[in-house]
Amino acid sequence: MTHARRTSTRLADGRELIYFDDSEPYVSSGATRRLDDPRPLGPRFAPDGPAAGPEMRRDPLTGDWIPMASHRMNRTFLPAADACPLCPARRGSTGTEYSDGEIPDTDYDVAVFENRFPALLDVPGLGHETTLVDGEPLWPSRPAAGRCEVVCFSSRHEASFADLSPRRARTIIEAWADRTAELSRVPGVRQVFPFENRGREIGVTLPHPHGQIYALPYLPPRTGAMLREAARYRERTGGSLLADVLAAELRAGTRVVLESEHWVAYVPAAARWPVEVHLAPRADVPDFAGLNDAERDDLAHVYPTLLRRLDRFFVDPATGEPIPLPYIAGWHQAVVGEGRELGRLHLQLFSVLRAPGKLKYLAGIESGLAAWISDTTPERIAARLQELGREDAAAGPSSAADTRTAAHDTTEEPTR
């Protein structure tokens, strides 16, 4: 890695923790983050044999696999800021004070660790065999043997991805690429999905700026549907569905909201959420690991720019102040194994906020039948984002996506 230093260690219970450093003296190996975890945690897995882990069962009516992780019922929920498990360790007069935090150092740039309360977990020695619930062939079950990781974007509790400098965003992209490559090599993994949930309206349980990465041992419904459509499209036309969708949006131009040398953001023609935007590379790239340096550098500017515009999408009518957008940002990547040639890296970012103080709740037909009804039109969403882009341009070059500035997070070093 040329843009960040990668340092791996183990937490007290055996989970992996990886520091990704872009600041001195760490990036040049002049110093190393704290690698020992002083917490009195017991081992994650039973030393004398396989432990129980989450299972998943197949729904015979839809073919969907449903992980069942009952241990997550008691996971951490909206802790006080001074008890946040993603904040750096605190330092007192006698050294680092004990806390139940997941990162033992008193500071970090970007950190990735295995989730303490995972929905997917590969238990050593447990195997991946299929069994039958109640002995019935209709209900196959097997261990939910995947991996769930947490990606901490910043050590600052009140930060957000939109606040980060391009340099720090680039480090996160390096972490996504590193984890995508490594997790894709894990036997049984079919999809690697980096994502971020932000905002209480979304259901976030930890407000510290962070995302997650799931390495799934099955193809979830949306991925399966996209692969089926891409396969039918290729058989019918010989083309790549995701590449041709991007080309069509560029030809139309009406829903394109941001462009750079390597990336295009657009509101999809069949957007279903009150706010929805997709971001895709111009080149055919399967996943983060396949991005070259120029594409990664460009994304480190484009993505925060897009997030900052989305944070101004809604304005509080009483104060005139922008409303930080609650959102889910999920990076779809080519699957591992069969169907990989049909995939293409792209972001789907959407919000449940349909107006200031108003959320989109799924109606009965949407929840019961997955039959979506949009509360707006894609063109209206795009028009608002295009308006914000023109405001950025009028404000000066420091607001444009291609200016390569590092403003917003003044606590970090300037971009290289």
Catalytically annotated residues: 210
Go through the chain and tell me how many residues it has.
Answer: 416
Coil/strand/helix, residue 311: coil
Rounded distance, CA 416 to CA 341, Å?
35
Q: Return the structure tokens found at 342.
A: 């049909």
**Residues 6 or more apart from 326 whose CB is under 8 A from it?**
198, 199, 200, 201, 202, 351, 352, 353
CA dist 348 and 187 (Å) reads: 27
Residue whose C-alpha is closest to residue 152's, from 278, 13, 19, 349: 19
Token pair 């509080």 is found at: 316
Residues 6+ apart with CB under 8 A from 197: 203, 204, 211, 212, 327, 328
How many CA atoms, within 13 angstroms, populate the side-chain half-sphere of residue 75? Answer: 14
User: Cα(161)–Cα(47) distance, rounded to whole angstroms?
Assistant: 39
Label the pairing between strands 327-332 and 346-351.
antiparallel
Question: To the nearest 10°, the Cα dihedral for 33, 299, 223, 135?
Answer: 0
